[in-house]
Structure 1
């Protein structure tokens, strides 16, 4: 995948010769600019003339083969060990980076807000001007996906759906003993369902750090991971956001399941949240703002008399979060579908995930993953929306 980085030229303008990143391959800005993944920090410098990498000797051969770079240099090319021995690890390495930049006539750089302070101080001591990119330019470029990136997300989402199906199947096949779900004679727990999800995703070539399987009052906290036995007649929020190991692009989806019979409030909440989801989807198109899409979701809830943060910023029950977020190399990235959401563009991949929460009732959330197109949107999620399993 070859991204168009020309928009960085405008960020550099007259104030910087290059855009510099010093991070390992798990950093999404680093991964996007370099096309390379390494477990230890390495340096990428973007200039209007090309992308240049500075890596350890251990990574040099692989970087030459795999990186999306015009040049690849080694730390040893700049007497790295001698410099570190003389000046210490941080200052010595910064001096090497300064020489790497000088060789490319880069005397001033823009850097991400989370750039290492030690490297920044060392570069400044060496006479390099270092300014923070307040506009987060690379993240904004990443927000508009190429067709290839959309396919990466789509592939991750297909794996995600198979994992969701595994979770639903386990819950559906459970027996109920004194109000608690059981499997093979033992209580069925959030942890057990998570294991089924994780095993499915591993087989699909995906990884994940966290998954939400939250029941009852636990589900009333949007980010409670859930723990312990699952209970009948209570909502079980399952939120899965895996990362494809090959492409490193994420997917994201939430469904709410219930084994048994929902009470009238829970049924009303589920139907209302599904209506809010559809309203958010209907509002999606190029040129509309994330704020407007969020507003369409709030309109549904507020018309039903349900609290939202728009009507009550201090609300602790009801719709107490934003409608969605971008998904790509990070599971939470731009654009925001929220009160401060900017104008949407074709290629934005976003979630629409309304929900309602109250410890006395539990929680309900339904989340689809979609891509904004030239004339509307395409829903990348192909999974039914049903409460009772």
Structure 2
């Protein structure tokens, strides 16, 4: 069997990365901020507080001082795990409100704290609860939505964050290794359907193999993509039904580390058996596009420039993008996106993206081409942007035929 192998990895000089304490004050640090959310699901809350809390709680940054209001259930843990914040007991504020004949709720607590700090104006994120905002306005508090990134320093990763992202990426690679090993050891049955341990190998079964390996490595895998044949032409199709030999299969794995909340992200496209010449050419073109993107991804490069260069390469190779028979085909998604406490975060690298790349950003590099008569190909690694050549944080090899 002929095998095409591609691999790229550059070592990381963590000493060259900044620390969070060395960062210049952001616009958010000069404003009074309010968030009410749980930190299990809200990335801004997790970033600022640094601990997982399953229920919504109050966070305030007032004149540079940080406060969190915690229930009795969480208060002792918060004092240990959120040392930057002054931890205030929710029960005390509720008792205060009751003593004044008022309803004990978050709006009343926030009003009391703002009065204690001699302010009545706060900025909130775009996902702030509308009902709570209305209550606060009725209490005479000015609630202003913060346009753009609520915590802009999240975009530039510290050395510690890069380590956490890399650890999550290793979890994704462990899942990828398990998935590809299952494909390698599978047999080809009737109609080119794959068999694994004498049972049909479906997208669902291979996804469970991948997700189990990720879980055992310390990650949560959700919505893992295992899409074969024409299913791979829909980039976010999770995949279903039997997998077949000699056709393209997209494996896209993006787990969240259980301990830290950071995400990893990796995509490989493989063929069990022999790839057609059309599939091989498609694969080689996508890989060439990814290599081109890596050469351009460095500090001060406009994000749109990277995407336009990849799209231009695909066009020159004869792979046009547009609607064919009523559906989009070609390269119709972005080249990459920021990665961190969210699977998709700032910046974006695509046709409509703005701004320039900055040292310390961690961004996926994932060009793809999709044609219904051939299948889909997407290859994804993770880049750390520096002032020089970007660093590829991904170690997993690229193999077309397995």
Quote the offset at 1:203 in angstroms.
Answer: 1.4
Quote the offset at 1:374 in angstroms.
Answer: 2.7
Please state if 1:10 is matched with 2:10. no
- 1:110 aligns to what SS in structure 2? strand
Quote the offset at 1:375 in angstroms.
Answer: 1.6
**2:279, 2:101 → 1: CA distance?**
67
Aligned mate of 1:163, from 158, 175, 190: 175
RMSD of aligned C-alpha atoms? 2.3
Structure 1 residues 146 and 113: CA distance shift in structure 2, 3 A: same
Structure 1 residues 7 and 80: CA distance shift in structure 2, 3 A: farther
Residue 23 of structure 1 corresponds to 37
**1:47, 1:293 → 2: CA distance?**
39
Residue 137 of structure 1 corresponds to 150
Quote the offset at 1:230 in angstroms.
Answer: 0.3
Quote the offset at 1:283 in angstroms.
Answer: 0.6
**1:216, 1:353 → 2: CA distance?**
19
Is contact 1:5–1:141 with CA below 8 Å preserved after alignment?
Answer: no
Please state if 1:358 is matched with 2:375. no
Please state if 1:183 is matched with 2:192. no
Quote the offset at 1:68 in angstroms.
Answer: 4.2
**1:257, 1:152 → 2: CA distance?**
28
Structure 1 residues 7 and 24: CA distance shift in structure 2, 3 A: farther
Aligned mate of 1:372, from 385, 395, 399: 385
**2:189, 2:96 → 1: CA distance?**
66
TM-score (structure 2 length as normaliser): 0.89
Which range moves more in the overlay, 257-266 or 343-352? 257-266
**2:166, 2:134 → 1: CA distance?**
42
Aligned mate of 2:268, from 255, 268, 287: 255
Q: Structure 1: any 5+ residue segments left out of the alignment?
A: none
Residue 161 of structure 2 corresponds to 149
Quote the offset at 1:135 in angstroms.
Answer: 2.1
- 2:136 aligns to what SS in structure 1? helix
**2:194, 2:140 → 1: CA distance?**
65
Residue 333 of structure 2 corresponds to 321
Q: How many residues in Structure 1 have an aligned counterpart in Structure 2?
A: 381
Quote the offset at 1:87 in angstroms.
Answer: 6.0
Please state if 1:105 is matched with 2:128. no
**1:115, 1:199 → 2: CA distance?**
35
Quote the offset at 1:130 in angstroms.
Answer: 0.5
Is contact 1:54–1:100 with CA below 8 Å preserved after alignment?
Answer: no
Q: What are the Cα deviations for residues 117-139 of structure 1, in whole angstroms up to 9, with x where unaligned? A: 1221121122111000012231x
- 1:21 aligns to what SS in structure 2? strand
Work out which structure has the larger RCO, using CA pairs closer than 8 Å and 6 or more positions apart in sequence: 2
Quote the offset at 1:104 in angstroms.
Answer: 2.3
Q: Structure 2: any 5+ residue segments left out of the alignment?
A: 1-17
Quote the offset at 1:221 in angstroms.
Answer: 0.2
**1:323, 1:180 → 2: CA distance?**
32
